[in-house]
Amino acid sequence: MRDLRVRDLLLGTMNASKSAQLLMKAYNLEQQGKKVMVFKPETDSRDGAFVISRALNDKRPAIVVPKDSDGSIMAENVWIKKPDIILVDELQFFTESQVEKLAEISITFDVDIYAYGLLLSYTGKMFDATKRAIESGFRILTIDMSCDYCQNDATHHLLYVDGKLELDGSGIVVEDEEFKKKNQLYKSVCFSCFQRAIDVAEMEQIESKHKK
Ligand SMILES: [Zn+2]
């Protein structure tokens, strides 16, 4: 017996219009008469119970999955409303057990899942949820985006806070209130540009230490 279900993980960097792609996918599926259900994590609290695309100037409602939920809320919604397709926004902010639940739902309820998210945080490390999705039978597809600094494909992120490159941190900054007040700028870059920027910032840090 073959696995009939699609579990696609569409990975793109920051500013790669992932939400726009999700909204277009939802639109196209509904044009085909399919019932679509959208989930998003509570951790991504910027837009409330909506997936919003600034690029398309469009939005649609989403079911927000609380961060302390084991994912049962998703199974309950799928059980009651019986969607043909599940779309997931910002997969990297789900918990590992929620991701496991998603994979389980695709089989138990016989439903296709298309999840959109990031592979790597600005620390250069893989998000736990994304890693768990790959381990849970999601197929990786990439949304191409060019490096902000050269012609290579972007794979990594640099985070500038008040113009200064962030060299450490948890990788998840959305929820941190202090952080929100500061001016954050993400750049999507290739690995060479990522490594070079970090090397330069680290050297500057050492130099300024010695000047004191
Ligand atoms: Zn580059």
CA separation (Å) from 79 to 10, 37, 41, 83? 25, 12, 19, 9
CATH number of the 7-211 domain: 3.40.50.300
Expressed in angstroms and rounded, the spacing between residue 188 Cα and the centre of ligand 1 is 9
- The pLDDT value given to residue 199: 93
Query: Domain limits of the chain?
Result: 7-211
- The pLDDT value given to residue 183: 85
Expressed in angstroms and rounded, the spacing between residue 202 Cα and the centre of ligand 1 is 18
Amino acid at 1: M
Expressed in angstroms and rounded, the spacing between residue 149 Cα and the centre of ligand 1 is 5
Contact between 140 and 117 under an 8 Å Cβ cutoff? The reply is no
Expressed in angstroms and rounded, the spacing between residue 203 Cα and the centre of ligand 1 is 20
Long-range contacts at 2-6 (CB < 8 A, ≥ 24 apart): 3/107, 3/137, 4/110, 5/106, 5/107, 5/110, 5/111, 5/112, 5/113, 6/106, 6/112, 6/113, 6/114, 6/139
Closest Cα to residue 120, out of 173, 157, 161?
Answer: 157
User: Residue 152 contacts by C-beta under 8 Å, 6 or more apart in sequence?
Assistant: 146, 190, 192, 193
User: Residue 151 contacts by C-beta under 8 Å, 6 or more apart in sequence?
Assistant: none
* Residue ranges with CB less than 5 Å from ion ligand 1: 147, 149-150, 152, 190, 193
Beta-bridge partner residues of 112: 85
Token representation of residue 180: 């929100």
- The pLDDT value given to residue 48: 87
pTM: 0.89
Query: pLDDT tens string for the chain (212 positions)?
Result: 555 779 999 999 998 889 999 999 999 999 999 999 999 999 877 788 999 998 888 999 999 999 999 999 999 999 999 999 999 999 999 999 999 999 999 999 999 999 999 999 999 999 999 999 999 999 999 999 999 999 999 999 999 988 899 887 655 555 455 556 678 899 999 999 999 999 999 999 899 888 86
In three state form, how does the secondary structure of 148-181 look? Answer: CCCCCECCEEEEEECCEECCCCCCCCCCCHHHHH
Question: 177 φ, ψ to 5°?
Answer: -65, -40
Contact between 98 and 65 under an 8 Å Cβ cutoff? The reply is yes
- The pLDDT value given to residue 116: 97
Expressed in angstroms and rounded, the spacing between residue 186 Cα and the centre of ligand 1 is 14
- The pLDDT value given to residue 170: 56
